[in-house]
Chain A
Amino acid sequence: MNTDQDIIQEIQNTDYKYGFTSDIETDIIAPGLNEDIVRQISKMKNEPEFMLEWRLKAFEHWKTMEHPKWANINMEIPHFQDISYYAQPRNKPKYDSLDEVDPEILKTFQKLGIPLEEQKILAGVAVDAVIDSVSIHTSFKSQLKEMGIIFCSFSEAVHEYPELIKNYLGSVVPYTDNFYACLNSAVFSDGSFVYIPKNTRCPMELSTYFRINATNTGQFERTLIIAEEGSYVSYLEGCTAPMRDENQLHAAVVELITLNNAEIKYSTVQNWYPGDKEGKGGIYNFVTKRGICKGNNSKISWTQIETGSALTWKYPSTILKGDNSSSEFYSVAVTNNHQQADTGTKMIHIGKNTKSTIVSKGISLGKSNNSYRGLVRMAKTAENARNFSQCDSLLIGSQCGAHTFPYIDVQNNTAIVEHEATTSKIADDQIFYCNQRGISKEDAISLIVNGFAKEVLNKLPMEFAIEAQKLLAISMEGSVG
């Protein structure tokens, strides 16, 4: 008779569904990292002097840094001199319509289930699609522009809005922050820039799909979102990557800034290639995401569904500086086969009456390791600050691991910090109960996992929730597709 073991085996044997390479011609800088490379990147992007200076300062600093060792991850340190730091599609025209776009690129989107036009029309999502570091398609821009909203590639912002970039770049994540953020600051290729003016509510979900494509090219994205007083924006980020052999480095930096009464909702669905069943290949994902609630009564929400990457090292964090500001972190991280994820958040409470909520759901399968690492800090000034953290782990099979590393640092007696953690397995009883109602083992596991992650899935914008459920199903099921 079948046992759960068979099902688990089957799940583990599911191949990465989105593994394919698209054939787009690219310009790639020769591998290596030195001052000349940094200058070359800046030059290829035709950047103003201030950008180059910033990159060079970051690079000088990076040379003095050591690769971090603290994460609960086994890895070989990437050979930074063997990586090419910039890739750009060879022809970079601005298209008037999708018909003019390289059909290969369109095909890639189709395989990923991201029909640009359809999505724009049906879901009202403006998509700024990034393939290999350079933005090739920006939509809805003019409509947003009328409202004073800026949504463009980072390179464009450097040229068009240098004052904003000068003011805010590195203001939340300084280039000295950490090893990978520093590397990113020196060599970042492109990314997204969003600016929401005062008292403006962005009428649509802004969305960028990242995709790593050229062989052996590290991708270094940078996202900067500024929400002026009383404004609101919901930003969606989603990623998938093609299958390949060598580990690829991805070290993005995301900075969010909310001023008085502003709100940013930042959602991520991440499905980068996790490596094969033996753990070969796959993306190294070392991301620094941080927001600052600079103004009073402002809010930053992070929601993430993490199913991909061989190694993930990511802690979307918020500095709650303004009084009465609040932040949420809702996360589902799935690891399978030999994936390793060390993810969580930091909530730094500085302002009075600041509030944060952390809900982290880790699901481990196969031989994977899934760690939650979270820091809650209540500074001396954080009168009546509150935090609630909940970390739940679900284990499927007997060879995986779940770990929780909560750090709590309270310097104000009026602050309240609560932490709850659970670890559970899918019980045979639960599977049998579902079976007895006519639900197969696979569907039962999917149902139970979705139930486990529900609190987080509910936080995603509608368009993304469906994609996220699909991803969870793909991560869990053996026969889907």
Chain B
Amino acid sequence: MIQIKNLHASINGKEILKGLNLEIKPGEIHAIMGPNGSGKSTLSAVIAGREDYEVTAGEIIFNGKNIIEMSPEDRACEGIFLAFQYPIEIPGVSITNFMKTALENKAKYLNQEPLSAGDFLKKMKEKKQLVELDDSLSKRSVNEGFSGGEKKRNEIFQMAMLEPKLSILDETDSGLDIDALRIVANGVNKLKSPQNSAIVITHYQRLLDYIVPDFVHILYKGKIVKSGTKELALELEAKGYDWIKAEIDA
């Protein structure tokens, strides 16, 4: 699905990712954990193609294509989805209109026929139910005046609509109460298939009780310093990051 090799990336001249390697196969869920400032959000932004970041070395191979030079919209159309940590408000643009524009652009990119109005609305309805999103919400402007939980559910809803191959959930659990967390995690689990993969970025083991990862990686100072299975997350929860830091910094 995606291979990240020796990735170096910096913002405003400051190097954040310092030779990161990661490989994800179809159907796998990888959790990325790490202390604040270790480069977790940078990694998600760089994969999505945010232009504020400069990739200085390395490559990202997504389904056989090196996407380093690809625009963020093309990456999205290729099947990369980023659920934002802080979803952005777009006043005056309804979710319906936003999703319609997004799906039409994607269909155009892939040389497919766009959905008919009827099929589109049907899909909207279906996916809204998946994340228990209120019907009236889709008439409202994108994220404007949404509660924290609504914003995160809206991200997962968009993910369901766009059917990405690789989903990156950037601290989707932050700011969620336990009910919202369960709804979001349920949504993600229902969308799981042997063909698509996910990267779950989180601070806490809590989310991983709901979304069970195949692998857990610890990101520290711009590199993956330890990888393991679900048990690694439990270990982290019990012991904190200090033992990792000590091990690496020694």
Contacts and interface: CB of A to CB of B under 8 A. Distances in A.
Interface in A402-445: 427-430, 432-441, 443
A64 interface: no
A437 B162 contact: yes
Given A436-B82, A437-B158, A438-B105, A454 B73 contact: no
Contacts of A441: 73
Given A430-B89, A436-B72, A438-B77, 15 more contacts: A428-B52, A432-B88, A433-B87, A434-B73, A435-B73, A436-B48, A436-B82, A438-B106, A439-B101, A440-B71, A447-B90, A447-B93, A447-B98, A451-B93, A452-B91
B50 interface: yes
A438 B92 contact: no
A436 B76 contact: yes
Nearest to B93: A451
A114 interface: no
B76 A452 contact: no
A448 interface: yes
B51 interface: yes
B81 interface: yes
Contacts of B52: 428
A435 B93 contact: no
A473 to B, nearest CB: 12
Interface string B36-55: 00000000000011111000
A434 B48 CA distance: 12
Contact of B88 (A1, A2, A430): A430
19 contacts: A1-B51, A2-B71, A428-B52, A430-B88, A430-B89, A432-B88, A433-B84, A433-B88, A435-B72, A436-B82, A436-B84, A438-B73, A438-B76, A439-B101, A450-B93, A452-B91, A453-B92, A454-B92, A455-B92
A451 B72 CA distance: 22
A282 B87 CA distance: 42
B105 A439 contact: yes
A447 B50 contact: no
B43 to A, nearest CB: 15
B102 A448 contact: no
A420 B18 CA distance: 48
B171 to A, nearest CB: 16
B51 A438 contact: no
A450 B92 contact: yes
A451 B92 contact: yes
B10 interface: no
A281 B148 CA distance: 51
B175 to A, nearest CB: 18
Nearest to B53: A1
A455 B92 CA distance: 8
A3 interface: yes
A443 B105 CA distance: 9
A454 B71 CA distance: 29
Interface of B: 48-52, 71-73, 76-77, 81-82, 84, 87-93, 97-99, 101-103, 105-106, 109, 141, 158, 162
Given A1-B51, A438-B109, A439-B105, A448 B93 contact: yes
A439 B102 contact: yes
Contacts of A447: 90, 93, 97-98, 101
Contacts of B84: 433, 436
B134 to A, nearest CB: 21
Contacts of B71: 2, 435, 440
A437 B141 CA distance: 16
Contact of A435 (B49, B87, B98): B49
Contacts of A435: 49, 71-73, 76
Contacts of A448: 90, 92-93
Contacts of B72: 432, 435-436
A443 B91 contact: no
Nearest to A451: B92
Contacts of B98: 434, 437, 447
A451 B90 CA distance: 8
Contacts of B99: 437
B239 to A, nearest CB: 35
A85 B69 CA distance: 58
A34 B89 CA distance: 58
Interface string A303-324: 0000000000000000000000
Nearest to A455: B92
Contacts of B81: 436
Most buried by A among B72, B99, B101: B72
Nearest to B72: A435
B101 to A, nearest CB: 6
Nearest to B88: A433
Nearest to B86: A429
Given A2-B71, A435-B71, A451-B141, A440 B90 contact: no
Interface in A1-33: 1-3
A440 B141 CA distance: 19
A341 B73 CA distance: 34
B97 A440 contact: no
Contacts of A2: 51, 71
A430 B99 CA distance: 15
A439 B93 CA distance: 13
